[in-house]
A and B are shown apart, each in its own frame.
Chain A
Amino acid sequence: DVKVTQSSRYLVKRTGEKVFLECVQDMDHENMFWYRQDPGLGLRLIYFSYDVKMKEKGDIPEGYSVSREKKERFSLILESASTNQTSMYLCASSLLWGQGYQPQHFGDGTRLSIL
């Protein structure tokens, strides 16, 4: 069974801090994704990566960066956290779609509060 593990379930940080959210998958998936989930807005894609050291912006990349140094790990970085980044963050992974449809598998999420 695919396992996508997010390092923290709950996190509280202060405005201006640099925040790291970590995600690890155990299925050798090429694709990894970071979303944020807000009430009434659904899931919005922040960044995704289709290979090590490769990244592409999603729909709302402002204020975020990502790092993928190893295939199994995809980190989301809030360079200088602000209160409007308080949200639930979801990580997902999938195989490349070129091999046919491949579902995205989601982690349990990190609920981040910026004070």
Chain B
Amino acid sequence: AQSVSQHNHHVILSEAASLELGCNYSYGGTVNLFWYVQYPGQHLQLLLKYFSGDPLVKGIKGFEAEFIKSKFSFNLRKPSVQWSDTAEYFCAVTPNYGGATNKLIFGTGTLLAVQP
């Protein structure tokens, strides 16, 4: 069965520090990859996505992620975090079956706390 691993469960950073959150998936075929973010008290929202093309994807709020197919990874990065980035981050994968309802498989999430 497909699965998604996020190795960092809790991350604490100071403002202006650089961020990298790991995400690995297990599926041998073509995949679509996502990072979602859930700010405290808010609903889950899409941060960025990768479908094809340039493996370096830019999202909202200065986030980016790099798809490395050989490593089955899709790590999230931000050069300089802000206090407002405090949130829970979820990596998600959907195998590209070409169907009408591709289910998302989520990782376990990473709680990021940014200290001012």
Residues of chain A whose beta carbon lies under 8 Å from any beta carbon of chain B: 4, 30-31, 35, 40-45, 48, 50, 56, 58, 90, 92, 96-98, 101, 103-104, 106-109
Contacts from B to A (Cβ < 8 Å): 4, 6, 9, 32, 42-46, 49, 51, 90, 92, 99-109
Contact B45 A42 (CB under 8 A): no
With A and B bound together, what is the CA distance between A90 and B90 in angstroms? 14
Residues of B within 8 A of A44 (CB): 106
Residues of A within 8 A of B90 (CB): 42-43
Query: Taking the nearest CB of chain B, how far is it from the CB of A87, in angstroms?
Result: 14
Asked if B106 and A43 make an inter-chain contact with CB atoms under 8 angstroms apart, the answer reads yes
B101 to chain A, nearest CB (A): 5
Nearest Cβ on chain B to A72's Cβ, whole angstroms: 17
Are A96 and B100 in contact, with the CB atoms below 8 A? yes
Q: Is the CB of A40 within 8 A of B108?
A: yes
